Amino acid sequence: MVSIEKVDTENKKQVKKFVQFYYDLYKPCPQWVPPLFGDAYLPLNRKKHPFFEYGAADFFLALRDGQVVGRICAGENILFNEYHKTKNAQFYFFDAIDDLEVAQALFEAAFDWARQRGLDTMIGPKGLSPFDGYGILEKGYEHRQMMTMMNYNYDYYPKLVEALGFEKEVDFVSCYLPADAFKIPERVERIAQRVLERGNLWVKNFTSKQELVKHWAQRIGRAYNKAFIDNWEYYPFTQGDVDYAVQNVFMIADPRLIKLIMHGDDIVGFLFAFPDASAALQRAKGHLFPFGIFDLLIDMKRTKTIS
């Protein structure tokens, strides 16, 4: 028999059970890239994670014979619902053994949570941050997870959620593209060069992470709010979201791989690319210190893959 336990996020023992189950479940999987423990614990910190400034969420564990066999988070992004005039709930952190009874018990807890808040639709997996991975992987299980902003899961996950009535909304596609196979069409290059020569647009390059974080991160956040206004997953970035991005995304970025398209002094476009540090993260096994940080920094410089 499966029982459901709501996690008290002030209870360190319960929070650890929620986080540790994920690491235990995926430990045998050679393609999985473990997030750093600090990142894994942050979403359960209601005082520090920016989501809780405008949203609500609770966390649940599934237990059988006293052992954790699954977990899930049910949440409401109130800013999203207000902006899109919807009544959506979202689920995230769904992880479980290959057992329909376990999945059903977890989602019933999430559905009950949503109904109690007057919400009528459940979507997901969708994280508590715009930088969390979306969706469930359904192809490409043989490839290593490129970065923790892209989800990886066992191949039985789609079967479980579809058995509970979920239907696919959209496909996100990622692929491996060798550098020698990537070539911008000559016509596009000519047009881009012509635009640059006219002086209407120019490219802002970075060599210093300090310059990027100190002088440009806030402006990029504001540009995001303007650029994605018609995107189906958009909701306005808060200052807390921007600060979160600075601390958790920009700090690991290679400034040489971030480009801004400028029109005068205004940002009108941007491109982010990140060095593939997945191998170093696997070796770190969730621990940044004492040696993981050095391995990570070295791997970011020597990798031949970006995402």
pLDDT tens digits, 270-290: 888 888 888 778 888 888 777
Partner residues linked to 5 by β-bridges: 61
Nearest to 227 by CA among 181, 192, 268: 268
Which has more pLDDT, 49 or 195? Answer: 49
Tokens of 129: 């941050």
Confidence check: pLDDT of 238 > 80: yes
Dihedral over Cα of 162, 7, 120, 228: its sign:
negative
Torsion, Cα of 138, 142, 146, 149 (10° steps):
30
Q: How confident is the model at residue 157 (pLDDT cuts 50, 70, 90)?
A: very high
CA distance 70 to 22: 9
CA distance 80 to 62: 28
Q: What is the pLDDT of residue 63?
A: 98
Phi, psi for 208 (deg, rounded to 5): -120, 125
Q: Which amino acid is at 131?
A: F
Predicted TM-score (pTM) of the model is 0.89
CA distance 56 to 143: 34
User: DSSP 3-state assignment of 135?
Assistant: coil
CB 68 within 8 A of CB 16: no
CA distance 276 to 274: 6
CA distance 79 to 240: 13
Quickly count: other Cβ atoms within 10 Å of residue 169's Cβ: 10
Q: How confident is the model at residue 194 (pLDDT cuts 50, 70, 90)?
A: confident
Report pLDDT digits (tens) over 81-139. 999 999 999 999 999 999 999 999 999 999 999 999 999 999 999 999 877 878 999 99
Tokens of 160: 């479980």
CA distance 202 to 205: 10
Phi, psi for 165 (deg, rounded to 5): 100, 0
CB 262 within 8 A of CB 270: no
Q: What is the pLDDT of residue 290?
A: 73
Quickly count: other Cβ atoms within 10 Å of residue 89's Cβ: 26
- Residue range 195-218: average pLDDT? 82
CA distance 20 to 100: 21
